[in-house]
Amino acid sequence: MTGLSPERIFSRIHRRYDRCNRILSLGRDQAWRRRGIDQLPDGRVLDLGAGTGVAVSLFRRSQRIVALDPAWTMLSANPSPHRVVGKGESLPFADNSFDGIWSAFVFRNLESVGKTLTEAARVLRPGGVMVVVDAGRPLGRLSRSVHRLGTAIVTPLIGLMAGAVREYWYFHRSLDKLPHPEEMFRAGPLRSARLWRMGWFGGVYGVTLIKSRE
């Protein structure tokens, strides 16, 4: 571990963060985001963990975006007109106030996935949709081992380029932090409607979650 909180890590590397992610994903990160954003409804959408706003250009004009992030240094570079400093575990919004929630490459950095999903269910309107895209480990034992070896080699090299070796070692370690999404989203306040795998060995996933209309 780096000894730093996720907020401090991203504050330190925010100027190089998006460029390094583009390298790590071999230029596929925006395509992964677009696939998830295409499943969001029109209306008011919360960008949870919005960071510097790399997804802004992918949203539709019919979607009114509220950008939320715990790190102001990241959020200050976000071009969204509505920006709020806050955490997923305690969303500063009224009940039933969003048609959709978007979150990309954030869940591994949450203090509590359970609390964040509970808060998401609270602020979503009935029938609202949440889409999560994040990185993890592949399902197969061999694929998982090869993937772990690959990130152990590649992420320190990217960190060296960014001048933040410790911070990018955190990325490698964080990939083992959570259960597989197939397990993590199986039960909870939002119904899992669809889950898909992308990227190298399926190490990136997307999931569509829906709030009951009842």
Nearest to 112 by CA among 90, 139, 81: 90
Q: What are phi and psi of 202, to 5 degrees?
A: 75, 30
Q: How far apart are CA 172 and CA 156, in angstroms?
A: 9
What confidence tier does 63 reach under pLDDT thresholds 50, 70, 90?
A: very high
Instruction: Give the tens place of pLDDT for each residue, 26-48.
Output: 779 999 999 999 999 999 999 99
Q: What is the pLDDT of residue 2?
A: 45
Instruction: Give the tens place of pLDDT for each residue, 144-173.
Output: 899 889 888 887 787 776 666 666 667 778
Query: Please, what is the angle between helix 29-37 and helix 6-24, to 10°?
Result: 100
Instruction: Give the tens place of pLDDT for each residue, 111-142.
Output: 999 999 999 999 999 999 999 999 999 998 89
Instruction: Give the tens place of pLDDT for each residue, 66-81.
Output: 999 998 888 998 999 9
Q: Which residues pair with 204 in a beta bridge?
A: 135, 198
Q: Which helix (H) or strand (E) holds 33?
A: helix 29-37
Q: How far apart are CA 35 and CA 38, in angstroms?
A: 5
CA 113 from chain centre, in angstroms, equals: 11
Q: What is the pLDDT of residue 167?
A: 65
Residue 52: Cβ-neighbour burial (10 angstroms; 0-12, 13-18, 19+) = buried
